[in-house]
């Protein structure tokens, strides 16, 4: 997040296991260290988990490296080299699509910057 007048209402993150606008997951990060994973299934959004992490560099203007390791039935979130959370999920049969997301309230615009967005095949285990 480069700038935000209401950073507590301006999360940014990643969309993953996207099948269509009614079926996908997303992870949001806030500049205070908060993190939330949500699943949209048949158009209904539910929280998978919410947590706070010391791995996130806190504050507007900080840069964080976010990594998602996705497997057919689980995902791991890694922030700045620290494994933060592993959780179960359901990947679409074609693997799904990934992307970026950010939002702010209508009365408090924010500026976000994503850089070095890389999608790669995971290492064999």
What's the token pair of residue 124? 């064999």
93: three-class secondary structure by DSSP: coil
Instruction: Look up the CATH number of the domain holding residue 60.
Output: 2.60.120.560
Whether residue 12 contacts residue 99, with contact meaning beta carbons closer than 8 Å, is answered with: no
Q: Assess if residue 36 is contained within a domain.
A: yes
Q: Assess if residue 119 is contained within a domain.
A: no
C-alpha 102/C-alpha 14 separation (Å) is: 8
**Which of 20-24, 75-79, 111-115 has the weakest average pLDDT?**
111-115
Domain residue limits at 104: 3-111
Q: Assess if residue 89 is contained within a domain.
A: yes
C-alpha 65/C-alpha 46 separation (Å) is: 25
Q: Assess if residue 125 is contained within a domain.
A: no
Q: Assess if residue 117 is contained within a domain.
A: no
The stretch 61-87 carries a mean pLDDT of 93
* Strand ranges across the sheet with 44-52: 44-52, 34-41, 23-29, 12-20, 97-102
Q: What is the pTM of this model?
A: 0.87
C-alpha 24/C-alpha 41 separation (Å) is: 7
Q: Assess if residue 92 is contained within a domain.
A: yes
Count of domains for the chain: 1
Q: Assess if residue 116 is contained within a domain.
A: no
The stretch 69-96 carries a mean pLDDT of 92
**What is the tens place of the pLDDT at every residue in 50-59?**
999 999 998 8
Q: Assess if residue 23 is contained within a domain.
A: yes
């Amino acid at each position: 997040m480069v700038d935000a007048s209401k950073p507590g209402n301006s999360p940014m993150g990643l969309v993953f296991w996207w099948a269509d606008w009614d079926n996908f997951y997303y992870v949001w990060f806030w500049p205070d260290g908060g993190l939330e994973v949500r699943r949209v299934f048949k158009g209904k959004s539910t929280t998978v988990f919410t947590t706070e992490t010391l791995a996130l560099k806190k504050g507007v203007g900080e840069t964080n490296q976010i990594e998602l390791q996705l497997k057919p039935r689980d995902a791991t979130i890694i922030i700045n080299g620290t494994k933060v959370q592993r959780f179960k999920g359901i990947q679409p049969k074609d693997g799904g699509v990934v992307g970026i997301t950010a939002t702010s309230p209508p009365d408090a615009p924010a500026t976000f910057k994503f850089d070095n967005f890389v999608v790669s095949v995971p290492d064999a285990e």
